[in-house]
Amino acid sequence: MLSRLVLTDFRNHADLTLQPGAGFVVLTGANGAGKTNILEAVSLLAPGRGLRRAALGEMARQGGAGGFGVAATLCPSARGETSVAGAERDQHADAGSHIGDVDIATGALTSAPERRIVRVQGATTTANTLAEWLTVLWLTPAMDRLFVAPAGERRGFLDRLTLPLAPGHAHHAARYEAAMRARNRLLGDEGRPDGDWLSALRR
């Protein structure tokens, strides 16, 4: 469960701390208060570019230093429930160890506003590692035609559905997308594509 959320220079929030309780959480406020910005911040605590798919430079608060931060504290479920992701993660822990609160964070430094930083328990890691700790899913009005949209959008949604069952899928999906981009560039080049290179990309 997400027990604490801290936003620093993120969108219109200069310094915001939220401590949601267990159960459903409803955000209310006037238009422009920053409700969707809070949801976007939570979506960044998972692999990917978040629900708006915005560039990092767009997320930093106007008038701020140029960087931003989104930090959260995760605590075990009060009911003792264990997800598949949590079970796989616990296999790497000592048999007698206890996993307590976990601090995760992401953002960008002022010196490198377009480079994403991810930390788990204070240690720098990759964005894909976030899938081992938190599952975030969203449906927005912009996704109302998801199942008649281009195949890439459907794959992205199904990938997020898969993460709770197989956190390692984020790594495989990233490799697949990179291979597809390389294949499309190759097919777009003038001249006859290299058959061996195409075969390697399809594997």
Q: Identify the bridge partners of residue 72 per DSSP, sorted by sequence position.
A: 5, 104
> pLDDT tens across 68-111, in order?
999 999 997 644 444 444 545 555 444 444 468 999 999 999 99
What is the maximum alpha-carbon separation in the chain?
Answer: 61
81 conformational bin, left if phi > 0, alpha if psi -120 to 50, beta if neither: beta
Confidence category of residue 188, pLDDT binned at 50, 70, 90: confident
> pLDDT tens across 106-131, in order?
999 999 999 999 999 999 999 989 98
132: Cβ–Cβ under 8 A, 6 or more apart, which residues?
85, 88, 89, 167
Calculate mean pLDDT across residues 152-171: 83
Cα–Cα separations (whole angstroms), residue 103 to 92, 144, 151:
18, 34, 35
Q: What is the pLDDT of residue 151?
A: 85
Q: What is the pLDDT of residue 201?
A: 63
Q: Kindly list the domain boundaries of the chain, sorted by start residue.
A: 2-139
CATH superfamily of 2-139: P-loop containing nucleotide triphosphate hydrolases (3.40.50.300)
